[in-house]
């Protein structure tokens, strides 16, 4: 039975004292000593005091500065590039163009379609074309405008539907496209049909359908892309980069630079926000490396905000037509969805996005029949990619809106309709065989309803004031690695020497989500030491064992499990030493509170340090390795790997808001956000993730959109790209639902991404409750809301 806690019930009483990382005696979960404590993140003090070192803060002797020249055309042949004037500028040390690196790369092995810099043609406004390394940033900035590029424009593909057309090879943005549509600009098409969809719609008691449209959005992380590349005296490349996935960058660098991987070290710098936007291997990483190899000097490359927007990888602009069928008991009987997503110029994670936009609609409700036609297209716009809630967020808005419409049609409370359709715990979904383990969504929704006084409010608030619900689920780590191989997905090493410090090595990237703290908690819990002893080294590929990094919300589940296993191996060594010291059998020892305690004779105990020094006799430092590999899951049809995860999180959100019927402005008043994360290893971090997800989701719901003028991004800055300010963000009550997962570390599942999707439909459904209009376009900006209100008024006047 899941348990409920969260910000509405408990208050944050921890504090940071002078940089000493302490939990101030906050209680742990029952049966644990460290797990379940409200622990401030390990790097928090560094961040708030400015002590943290980001790549742009780094300085090296002889360091050069780089600037990139970006394409001024969106689709054009490059007739000529003349770099001679730039090279002649005093202080310029090197200029590189596409001719300096021919090998293509990309995060997915099936979409190796990126070049370090454009060759022969450019495919979006902003694509890197050339770059300069110079003694100062000023000189570099001046030099790029001395590079002369002559273009011959080609027809631009700016609307996703234009990319469906057959075109001549010259107008294909990439050589390699979807096999089923060889003459188009379709990157990937996914067609799936399971169960009797036609029959379900024929026999339905209620059918709901609508067409939806979503603008593209950006991650809006605080730190712009900034890196330092250094081809050092050992003829090795050192790349300092705020990567979510250092390992994939490591692989891509090796391919592009034609170096064995061991001659490259990727060093993850402090990440000033990622949200999926720092998880591709990037062109600027290749460019700085090329410049450093050419000059044999360190090269810093810091982008400005506009360049960061142009580098992109945000959520796909999406158009979809979806329909759902229900029987007379309100049971969902079929979903039929047809979705086009605009991938922009590159493949990026897009093949996965194309699948996720469909298959992740097979929850959190039981889906008896399912049809999906999905297309991801190339266009001459900023590349789309993976962003928090990857591939699930936009279709989730569609299905949750349709659920609400169905509730109206069937005369049911929208929460009641959802309760009738939730997936049970411990089951497999009917067709994709997604393995559902623990599932606390019923308890979550019930608690959100109770706290929000849903039954008193829904349908009963005055005009302009409304309440709405949205539910979701999400993968807790993709079960299959991007590069097919038999290596574990996460490996963690632990080293403890006589100083008593516990060093944990991992390549799971701390990107602000708290992964270092999580690893420390998992290790400290198992070996019973204090958190202060544990030092996590998760930055450098030379010392850290491979971990696939921070994407697909996988780190707690996978790296957490690897850390736990490594710690168990250390514990066995300490137990053996305690046994030698006390004469009690090794399996009789418990580890907690810096002591190793005999279970049957609690007065027989040794300190952690005594056990450690005992264990070190003759062998020196203790070392251990642990790893995690997802078990075999799923089924066998083509594409059935997509969406597989060892576990799934579930969430149920309720939003109360006001709509100004004269201006169309939406003012969220309060959000009750219930999220089932398995066990909350660190409730403080879980609440932070839920609140952050809600804030980010509200941005997409109400104000954020990438706006274009033709092929050019119109709002590539933080004044015109409108992330909600604190004044725009309501009180958020994070409700933690704990349903222990059998396989997650100490029962944990994900909480970093799944909590984003439900807020957007909760807002849309609350708008309906407030003013009676359905929003089918996201963001739900004031002009769109007002247009819907005015259209409804006109229709009503006509009707009278």
Q: Which residues bind another protein (CB under 8 A)?
A: 56, 70, 72-73, 125, 137-138, 141, 145, 224, 302-306, 662-664, 703, 709, 712, 714-716, 719-720, 722, 724-728, 781-783, 786
The nearer residue to another protein, 301 or 482, going by C-beta atoms, is 301
Min dist CB 5 to another protein, Å, is: 31
The nearer residue to another protein, 229 or 340, going by C-beta atoms, is 229
The nearer residue to another protein, 48 or 714, going by C-beta atoms, is 714
Distance CA 9, CA 632 (A): 39
**Inter-residue contact 543 to 262 (CB < 8 Å):** no
Min dist CB 716 to another protein, Å, is: 7
Task: State the CB neighbour count (10 A cutoff) for residue 439.
Answer: 27
Name residue, tokens 């908690």.
521
The nearer residue to another protein, 373 or 670, going by C-beta atoms, is 670
The nearer residue to another protein, 195 or 782, going by C-beta atoms, is 782
Min dist CB 776 to another protein, Å, is: 18
Q: Which residues of 546-565 are buried (b: 16+ CB within 10 A; e: fewer)?
A: bbbbbbbbbbbbbbbbbbbb
DSSP annotation of 27 reads P
- Residue 99 sits at φ, ψ, to 5 deg, of -65, -15
- Residue 141 sits at φ, ψ, to 5 deg, of -65, -35
Furthest-apart CA atoms within the chain: distance in Å: 93
Min dist CB 242 to another protein, Å, is: 15
Based on the number of CB atoms within 10 Å of its own CB, is 486 exposed (0-12), middle (13-18) or buried (19 or more)? exposed
Min dist CB 304 to another protein, Å, is: 4
The nearer residue to another protein, 150 or 499, going by C-beta atoms, is 150
Distance CA 450, CA 459 (A): 16
Distance CA 588, CA 421 (A): 47
The nearer residue to another protein, 81 or 335, going by C-beta atoms, is 81
Min dist CB 783 to another protein, Å, is: 4
**Inter-residue contact 353 to 187 (CB < 8 Å):** no
**Inter-residue contact 227 to 301 (CB < 8 Å):** yes
The nearer residue to another protein, 73 or 554, going by C-beta atoms, is 73
Min dist CB 104 to another protein, Å, is: 25
The nearer residue to another protein, 603 or 662, going by C-beta atoms, is 662
Min dist CB 542 to another protein, Å, is: 29
394: which residues sit within 8 A by CB, 6+ positions away? 212, 214, 315, 316, 318, 320, 339, 341, 357, 778
The nearer residue to another protein, 633 or 789, going by C-beta atoms, is 789
Min dist CB 89 to another protein, Å, is: 16
- Residue 224 sits at φ, ψ, to 5 deg, of -65, 165
Min dist CB 781 to another protein, Å, is: 8
Based on the number of CB atoms within 10 Å of its own CB, is 84 exposed (0-12), middle (13-18) or buried (19 or more)? exposed
Min dist CB 725 to another protein, Å, is: 4
Q: How far is CA 206 from CA 334, 638, 761, in A?
A: 11, 32, 20
User: Token digits for 361?
Assistant: 């609609």
| 3-state SS assignment for residue 457 | helix
Q: How far is CA 637 from CA 106, 192, 631, 648, 792, in A?
A: 26, 10, 18, 21, 46
The nearer residue to another protein, 637 or 718, going by C-beta atoms, is 718
Min dist CB 712 to another protein, Å, is: 6
The nearer residue to another protein, 224 or 761, going by C-beta atoms, is 224
Beta bridge partners of 65: 134, 300
Min dist CB 225 to another protein, Å, is: 10
Distance CA 472, CA 394 (A): 11
| Listed residue (238, 73, 88, 91) closest to 149, CA to CA | 73
Pairing of strands 435-436, 206-214: unpaired
| Listed residue (123, 121, 147) closest to 67, CA to CA | 147
| Listed residue (320, 304, 123) closest to 209, CA to CA | 320
The nearer residue to another protein, 263 or 787, going by C-beta atoms, is 787
Min dist CB 48 to another protein, Å, is: 17
The nearer residue to another protein, 389 or 724, going by C-beta atoms, is 724
């Amino acid at each position: 039975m899941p348990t409920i806690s969260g910000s509405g019930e408990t208050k944050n009483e921890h504090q940071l004292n002078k940089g000493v990382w302490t939990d101030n005696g906050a209680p742990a979960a029952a049966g644990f000593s460290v797990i379940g404590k409200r622990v401030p993140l390990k790097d928090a003090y560094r961040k708030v005091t400015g002590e943290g070192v980001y790549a742009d803060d780094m300085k090296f002797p002889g360091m050069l500065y780089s600037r990139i020249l970006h394409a001024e055309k969106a689709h054009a042949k490059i007739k000529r590039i003349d770099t001679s004037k730039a090279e002649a500028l005093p202080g310029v040390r090197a200029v590189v163009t596409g001719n300096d690196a021919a090998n293509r790369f990309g995060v997915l092995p099936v979409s190796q379609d990126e070049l370090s810099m454009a060759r022969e043609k450019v495919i979006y406004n902003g694509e890197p074309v050339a770059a300069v390394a110079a003694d100062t940033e000023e000189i570099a900035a001046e030099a790029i405008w001395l590079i002369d590029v002559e273009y011959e424009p080609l027809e631009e593909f700016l609307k996703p539907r234009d990319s469906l057309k057959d075109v001549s090879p010259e107008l294909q943005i990439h050589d390699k496209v979807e096999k089923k549509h060889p003459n188009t600009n379709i990157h990937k098409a996914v067609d799936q049909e399971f169960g009797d969809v036609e029959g379900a719609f024929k026999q339905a008691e209620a059918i709901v359908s609508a067409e939806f449209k979503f603008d593209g959005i950006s991650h809006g992380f605080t730190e712009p892309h900034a890196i330092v590349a250094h081809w050092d005296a050992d003829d090795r490349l050192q790349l300092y980069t705020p990567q979510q996935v250092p390992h994939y960058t490591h692989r891509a660098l090796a391919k592009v630079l034609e170096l064995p991987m061991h001659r490259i070290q990727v060093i993850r710098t402090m990440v000033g926000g990622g949200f999926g936007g720092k998880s591709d291997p990037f062109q600027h990483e290749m460019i700085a490396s090329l410049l450093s190899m050419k000059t044999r000097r360190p090269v810093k490359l810091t982008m400005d905000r506009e360049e960061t927007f142009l580098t992109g990888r945000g959520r796909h602009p999406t158009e979809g037509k979806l329909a759902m069928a229900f029987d007379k008991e309100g049971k969902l009987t079929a979903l039929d969805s047809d979705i086009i997503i605009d991938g922009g110029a590159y493949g990026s994670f897009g093949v996965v996005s194309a699948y996720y936009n469909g298959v992740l609609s097979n929850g959190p409700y039981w889906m008896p029949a399912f049809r999906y036609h999905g297309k991801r297209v190339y266009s001459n716009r900023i590349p789309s990619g993976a962003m928090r809630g990857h591939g699930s967020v936009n279709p989730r808005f569609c299905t949750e809106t349709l659920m609400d419409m169905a509730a109206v049609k069937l005369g049911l409370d929208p929460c009641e309709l959802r309760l009738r359709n939730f997936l049970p715990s411990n089951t497999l979904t009917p067709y994709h065989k997604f393995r559902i383990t623990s599932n606390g969504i019923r308890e979550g929704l019930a608690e959100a309803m109770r706290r929000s006084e849903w039954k008193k409010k829904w349908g009963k608030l005055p005009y302009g004031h409304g309440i709405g619900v949205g539910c979701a689920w999400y993968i807790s780590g993709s079960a299959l690695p991007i590069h097919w191989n038999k290596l574990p997905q996460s490996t963690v090493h632990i080293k403890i020497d006589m100083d008593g410090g516990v060093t944990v090595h991992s390549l799971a990237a701390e990107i602000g989500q708290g992964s270092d703290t999580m690893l420390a908690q998992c290790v400290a819990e198992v070996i019973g030491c204090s958190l202060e002893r544990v030092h996590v080294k998760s930055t450098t590929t030379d010392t850290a064992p491979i971990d696939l990094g921070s994407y697909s919300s996988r780190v707690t589940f996978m790296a957490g499990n690897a850390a736990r296993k490594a710690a168990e191996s250390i514990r066995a060594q300490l137990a053996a030493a305690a046994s030698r010291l006390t004469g009690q059998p090794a399996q009789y020892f418990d580890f907690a509170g810096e002591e190793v305690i005999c279970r049957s004779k609690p007065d027989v105990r040794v300190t952690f340090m005594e056990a450690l020094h005992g264990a070190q006799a003759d062998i020196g430092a203790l070392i251990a390795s642990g790893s995690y590999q997802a078990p075999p899951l799923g089924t066998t049809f083509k594409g059935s790997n997509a969406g597989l995860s060892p576990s799934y999180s579930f969430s149920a959100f309720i939003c109360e808001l006001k709509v100004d019927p004269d201006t169309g402005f939406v003012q969220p008043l309060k959000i009750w956000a219930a999220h089932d994360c398995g066990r909350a290893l660190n409730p403080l971090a879980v609440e932070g993730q839920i609140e952050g997800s809600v804030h980010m989701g509200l941005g997409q719901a109400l104000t954020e959109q990438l706006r274009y003028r033709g092929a050019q991004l119109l709002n590539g800055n933080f004044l015109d790209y409108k992330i909600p300010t604190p004044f725009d963000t309501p009180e958020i009550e994070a409700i933690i639902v704990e349903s222990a997962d059998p396989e997650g570390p100490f029962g944990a599942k994900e909480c970093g991404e799944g909590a984003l999707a439900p807020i957007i439909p909760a807002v849309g459904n609350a708008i309906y409750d407030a003013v009676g209009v359905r929003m089918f376009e996201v963001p739900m900006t004031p002009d769109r809301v007002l247009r819907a209100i005015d259209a409804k008024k006109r229709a009503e006047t006509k009707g009278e």
